[in-house]
Structure 1
């Protein structure tokens, strides 16, 4: 469904983790990318990269989530940038845009809806329950669409208008687009008030903002007289939104320390409620057009690093929080580092216990001295992860290396584990499977090898819980 230059219902698609041109500063360190509430991207179907020719506006909160602006104040889930990065939507392109450009494109999308579509509010016994649009050009013979957060991409075909004559309690009113948005807000508020939500209320600056929880500026137990625009929250929504608001507030209050901007890195936005939950601290010079990113190792020692990815929730640190977070990192029993090369990729996975360094080798750890080589390896850089992040990386590495090592064996053997956290202890395996071509068998004790059922395919039933093993390892497990 196209309206004007902006394709309102262009099918979503993806992108790889290739950083596009960054109009918010690139590598010139104003840190707008790190400090922005959202990162915005315009998607294009043709050669033009002008905002007015964009087919889609996408924003990314911190983390991997993506949201498309669907018009009428609605942001809906999408995977467009992922699909573009992965090459699945190779005919399209995208670029990062500034907040001003995002506002321009958002207004353009709303204007296209207003120019090309009639808006109708359908009520039952006088209570609005749906917003429906019909195209102004009847010759196009397009079906009506219902507008809503839970419709695919924010709108979906509907027969509500066809059913009107048979529904005596129903009525329809033709309205302006702004009134349609207000009706959507009132329906959202009514639905939330009728729920069992007990997380308090989100407070907004404008009525239309109610359709976008992330635009809230406060979370309160109950609305005060000055809180004109509110929405009831679940406990989970309240926790996430409170953390997000605190994170935004902190971003606006913290400046450089000793000529560097420091950031704490987290797995989830909610974790930033306590800076000591950080799994890493990084810093960058602030007075250089060629920034130098570093990762905290220990007091007075920083290792070469890279700019945090768009997916990483982060919190700027002032002097007091910097001391508290680095002290918390150093007090942990283990720390986990990933060493990579800008030229060749993975170098090593490390575990630090105090000043003792070990490298992940197959399913275990062996003493190493990788960090001592770092100053002489200009292409190397380091990132810190938590224990779960390291386990995921170790598993991916072991799975790949063992798959290659045993690929030419007549039979390929696999150990299956009850839970992913036991993958590195072969003695904890609960099942042994072997494959020859496409045939799969499992070891059944005295019965020996018996065919596996179709639903016992490794990647169907045991995904993330198996490892390739050698013939010798198989014999030890089945003996």
Structure 2
């Protein structure tokens, strides 16, 4: 359904326990949200302040929960908060440029050829410039039917409702502009979900990078050709990601794959890098270590020019599980006489 993505703010009541949610009088606060990860709490007398109350309710040790509030409940909670709080002399901060742009677009949104179209962005602040959009999605203006994602001219593939995404309603001119930009982009990034197929307890999906006419999927630290976008099956769906989100997804996939592959080995060999972007290049290894089998705290043996050195606690940087063969290759002396144990942090 597209209606939530054309509304102004959505309002929520937070409760200490899910069992309290039927009684609005037991709500602990009134919150509003306009986009993903953007929430504010009502502080009284027209003041809204940034908050993480709704987000914290989803933490594992939290009993709190929230639900959408009706217009009458919103007015009740506003009046109650106004009565509890002294009026503040300062005025509320103005809405950000991204919020202003999003509100205006939602109020003026109209269907285009029977669909509502939305541009998808990495950050709320990016919606002020449609050229920053990394995806174009749509859904039928009738209110029924499925979400679709733009792949290329004349081709829309099954997509997903953008529940936790920043999306901007766009008209015909911007639809054409974004479509052209997606087709001519130097690189595009996709996440193809294979329906309800499960592997190792997780739903299967395939990460795809498109450069020109070539599609590649991750192959451990490298890439291999794939035609998955040309053979989509019923029940599959596709998301187009921004470069940063794709990078995070690729890193997680590599880490999970390697952790499973090396999980039963004797020594937990690891290579350490400055950042997650470096783990695909063994030329950027900072140092090597092996984790000791202590279930209660982090203990390592760090490879140094003088042999193994015991250390405890975090070693810093980003670590990558490596095989014993990879360890031996990285630990071997370099042509310049230097080995991985000579590299200091």
TM above 0.5 = yes
User: Is residue 305 from structure 1 mapped to residue 159 from structure 2 by the alignment?
Assistant: yes
Query: For the residues of structure 2 that align with 1:65 and 1:413, how far apart are their CA atoms?
Result: 40
Equivalence for 1:42: 13
Match of 2:300 among 440, 445, 457: 440
Check conservation: 2:269, 2:288, Cα contact below 8 A: yes
Superposition CA RMSD, Å: 2.1
Describe how 1:56-205 pairs up with structure 2 within 5 A: 56-90=29-63, 92-99=64-71, 101-111=73-83, 113=84, 177=86, 180-181=87-88, 183=89, 185=90
Match of 2:244 among 383, 388, 392: 388
DSSP-derived class of the 1:391 partner:
helix
User: Is residue 399 from structure 1 mapped to residue 258 from structure 2 by the alignment?
Assistant: no
Check conservation: 1:52, 1:108, Cα contact below 8 A: no
Match of 2:129 among 244, 249, 274: 274
Specify whether residues 353 and 51 from structure 1 end up closer, same or farther in structure 2 by C-alpha distance, changes over 3 A only.
same
Match of 1:296 among 133, 150, 167: 150
Structure 1 residue 252 displacement after superposition = 1.8
Equivalence for 2:114: 259
323-332 or 63-72, larger mean C-alpha shift: 63-72
Check conservation: 1:278, 1:325, Cα contact below 8 A: yes
Higher helix residue share: 1
Match of 1:377 among 234, 237, 241: 234
DSSP-derived class of the 1:55 partner:
strand
DSSP-derived class of the 1:85 partner:
coil
DSSP-derived class of the 1:60 partner:
strand
Structure 1 residue 56 displacement after superposition = 2.0
DSSP-derived class of the 1:211 partner:
coil
Equivalence for 1:315: 168
Structure 1 residue 99 displacement after superposition = 4.9
Match of 2:311 among 413, 433, 452: 452
Specify whether residues 276 and 391 from structure 1 end up closer, same or farther in structure 2 by C-alpha distance, changes over 3 A only.
same
Query: For the residues of structure 1 that align with 2:117 and 2:288, how far apart are their CA atoms?
Result: 48
Query: For the residues of structure 2 that align with 1:107 and 1:377, how far apart are their CA atoms?
Result: 50
User: Is residue 211 from structure 1 mapped to residue 92 from structure 2 by the alignment?
Assistant: yes
Structure 1 residue 385 displacement after superposition = 0.7
Q: TM-score, normalised by structure 1?
A: 0.63
Specify whether residues 400 and 418 from structure 1 end up closer, same or farther in structure 2 by C-alpha distance, changes over 3 A only.
same
Specify whether residues 385 and 78 from structure 1 end up closer, same or farther in structure 2 by C-alpha distance, changes over 3 A only.
same
466-475 or 64-73, larger mean C-alpha shift: 64-73
Query: For the residues of structure 1 that align with 2:238 and 2:72, how far apart are their CA atoms?
Result: 35
Match of 1:356 among 205, 210, 214: 214
Check conservation: 2:20, 2:26, Cα contact below 8 A: no
Question: Gapped runs of 5+ residues in structure 2?
Answer: 333-345
Question: Gapped runs of 5+ residues in structure 1?
Answer: 1-26, 115-176, 186-209, 215-240
DSSP-derived class of the 1:102 partner:
helix
Query: For the residues of structure 2 that align with 1:342 and 1:87, how far apart are their CA atoms?
Result: 27
Provide, for residues 162-201 of structure 1, a one-character-per-residue CA deviation record: whole Å limited to 9, x for no partner.
xxxxxxxxxxxxxxx4xx33x2x1xxxxxxxxxxxxxxxx
Query: For the residues of structure 1 that align with 2:264 and 2:52, how far apart are their CA atoms?
Result: 37
Query: For the residues of structure 2 that align with 1:447 and 1:276, how far apart are their CA atoms?
Result: 54
Check conservation: 1:41, 1:97, Cα contact below 8 A: yes
Specify whether residues 371 and 440 from structure 1 end up closer, same or farther in structure 2 by C-alpha distance, changes over 3 A only.
same
Structure 1 residue 251 displacement after superposition = 2.2
Equivalence for 2:264: 408
Query: For the residues of structure 1 that align with 2:72 and 2:279, how far apart are their CA atoms?
Result: 49
Provide, for residues 268-315 of structure 1, a one-character-per-residue CA deviation record: whole Å limited to 9, x for no partner.
122112101101010000114x33100000001011011102x32211
Equivalence for 2:320: 467
Specify whether residues 317 and 450 from structure 1 end up closer, same or farther in structure 2 by C-alpha distance, changes over 3 A only.
same
User: Is residue 325 from structure 1 mapped to residue 184 from structure 2 by the alignment?
Assistant: no
User: Is residue 246 from structure 1 mapped to residue 101 from structure 2 by the alignment?
Assistant: yes
Specify whether residues 79 and 270 from structure 1 end up closer, same or farther in structure 2 by C-alpha distance, changes over 3 A only.
closer
